[in-house]
Amino acid sequence: MSHNKEMCNTVSDHVTEFRLIHSDCTWSRCTTDCLDVEGQLSDAKLYESSTEHGVTWTVVSPIIFTYRIIQCERLLDASNDTLLFGHVSNPTEALKDDTKGVKRFIVIDEQVNDLYGSQVAAYFEARRVIYKILPLPMTEENKSMLLVSRILEEVHKFGIDRRTEPIIAIGGGVCLDIVGLAASLYRRRTPYVRVPTTLLAYIDASVGAKNGANFANCKNKLGSYVPPVATLLDRTFLLTLPRRHISNGLAEMLKMALMKHKGLFELLENEGQRLLDTSFQASDTTEKVHKDPASVSTRLAIESMLEELAPNLWEDELDRLVDFGHVISPELEMKTLPTLLHGEAVNIDMAFMIYVAHEKGFLTVEEKSRIIVCMKGLELPVWHTDCTLGLIQKSLNERLKHSAGRLRMPLPTGLGKARIFNDIEDSILCQAFKKWCDEQRAEY
């Protein structure tokens, strides 16, 4: 017996299961013993039960999202169809079916607009697209519903088809999050495309389904789970990224390495400085591209991230390895705005947790040292004066409150291995905090 039917039986023993069939423009319910009726069979089900108090209908309607993550080059080259049609399986048919002209609404981070705005405009003009580019200040301090409303007002004025004309977001994680939230709200769900221009967004914010805005001085307190129809990845954008922002993105890459990929950790350990120096640009020679540290590391980071996200896109399961570095960092990041970047706050969180894992006996002294040295080699902070024991305890209490009564703390149990823990003793946290401060404070 299915879980859904069992749920119905808690109300009544008299449960009828119906399937839904579409025929002659009409959906009709049909019991499971008469499914030979011609028509389209839905995956949805209805369960009807009766009690002395009335009738109950239970609806089970699966939702399936399909989205693409496309690595490409020369995204803004007018001969490249990806920016316009990377989200559809047959671009030729999409063009053939479009008799009124192609329209695109583009939201772009204003700093990115200064660098690439003219190229974006030239692309759409060369493709004879009806377009509007909206540059906005996409900072963590501005990441609010006011920004979402501004986008929605402009989208409404411009006018787009809510199924065939995706909104395009070009920028870092804040831009992608805000535009994703706006798109999920406009006419209850409008397709959108992510074009990340920072390393952090490239390997993290752009590949999942989450979007959001800050609220009540809490990071991403408002949001939804609606993935883009496509994420378009072009590492060329990273060439104009400040070195600090390359380092910032490396924190999220290191997170996945520590949680589940020892080979990626060793690559970052050995090639981190080279990745920083080259802004993640691949070698020129074709035979070296697939072995180039930039190509290999980004691919491994994205693949390991997708392995964790795809089966749990809506976070029905709260035990998530990708939450490593995100237990304390939201509180720390909001407290220190605009001093710390997101990845920097995440790395400080991870550094403390490395000490916790060592105190628990999960990491050897050598492993702990290798990880901290690697972090410093990636030019990431491993300690901060505002990350006090009080802030740590407050963050853990908030996590406990909002995680169904369980702490759910991801910790490494070796290089590239991890588990979720719910029982970290206060004494362990205090010991780890003291050693962390004693060993790292001197450098700051």
Say if residues 350 and 251 touch (Cβ distance below 8 Å).
Answer: yes
Active site residue 157: no
Residue 259 parent element (H or E) = helix 243-260
Q: Are 83 and 102 in contact (CB under 8 A)?
A: no
The DSSP code sequence of 64-98 is: ----EEEE-S-TT-TT--HHHHTTSS-HHHHHHH-
Amino acid at 392: I
Question: Dihedral sign, CA of 201, 207, 211, 214?
Answer: negative
Closest CA to 108 of 146, 76, 138, 83: 138
| Cβ atoms 334, 306 nearer than 8 A | no
151 in Cβ contact with 171 (< 8 Å): no
Rounded alpha-carbon distances, angstroms, from residue 57 to 12, 15, 361, 409? 11, 10, 52, 38
The catalytic residue among 143, 210, 255, 260 is 210
Distance CA 95, CA 100 (A): 10
Residue 216 backbone class (left: φ over 0; alpha: ψ -120 to 50; beta: rest): left
Q: Distance of CA 440 to CAs 233, 375, 434, Å?
A: 36, 12, 10
Catalytic amino acids?
210
